[in-house]
């Protein structure tokens, strides 16, 4: 496990994720009203990148078939997704947002 840099805190817009690839994993990092959250960027239904989806009120909607996930908990909120997303801890280190994987 290691901490990975995403971007300086000030570069994040609300609800607009930044994506980092670590080996085979794609991680999407969001700024929400109460802090930074990191989730796996790949929908658990078929194959789509959630960072291409619609984000609002702490939820991300898959661009393909509109399954919704809670960004804070990774929970799959409705079908066609049933499997929760992996979530990763985040922190701010010297003004830079990081996640742990």
**Residue 4 interacts with, from another protein, ligand FES, none (CB under 5-8 Å by kind):** none
Does position 39 bind ligand FES by CB under 6 A? no
Residue choice 56, 89, 92, 100 for contact with another protein (CB under 8 A): 56
Does position 64 bind ligand FES by CB under 6 A? yes
Q: Which is nearer to ligand FES, 4 or 75 (CB)?
A: 75
As a whole number of angstroms, the distance between CA 92 and CA 1 comes to: 17
Do 89 and 1 form a contact (C-beta atoms < 8 A)?
Answer: no
As a whole number of angstroms, the distance between CA 83 and CA 43 comes to: 9
Neighbouring-strand partners of residue 55 = 60
Q: Which is nearer to ligand FES, 19 or 48 (CB)?
A: 48
Closest CA to 85 of 54, 48, 57, 56: 48
Smallest distance, ligand FES to C-beta of residue 44, A: 7
């Amino acid at each position: 496990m290691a901490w990975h840099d995403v971007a300086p805190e000030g570069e994040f817009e609300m609800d607009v994720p930044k994506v980092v690839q670590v080996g085979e994993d794609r991680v999407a990092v969001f700024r929400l009203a109460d802090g930074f959250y990191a989730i796996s960027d790949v929908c658990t239904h078929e194959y789509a990148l959630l960072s291409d989806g619609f984000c609002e009120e702490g939820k991300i909607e898959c661009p393909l078939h509109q399954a919704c996930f809670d960004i804070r908990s990774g929970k799959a909120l409705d079908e066609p997704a049933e499997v929760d997303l992996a979530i990763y801890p985040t922190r701010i280190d010297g003004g830079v947002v990081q996640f742990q994987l």
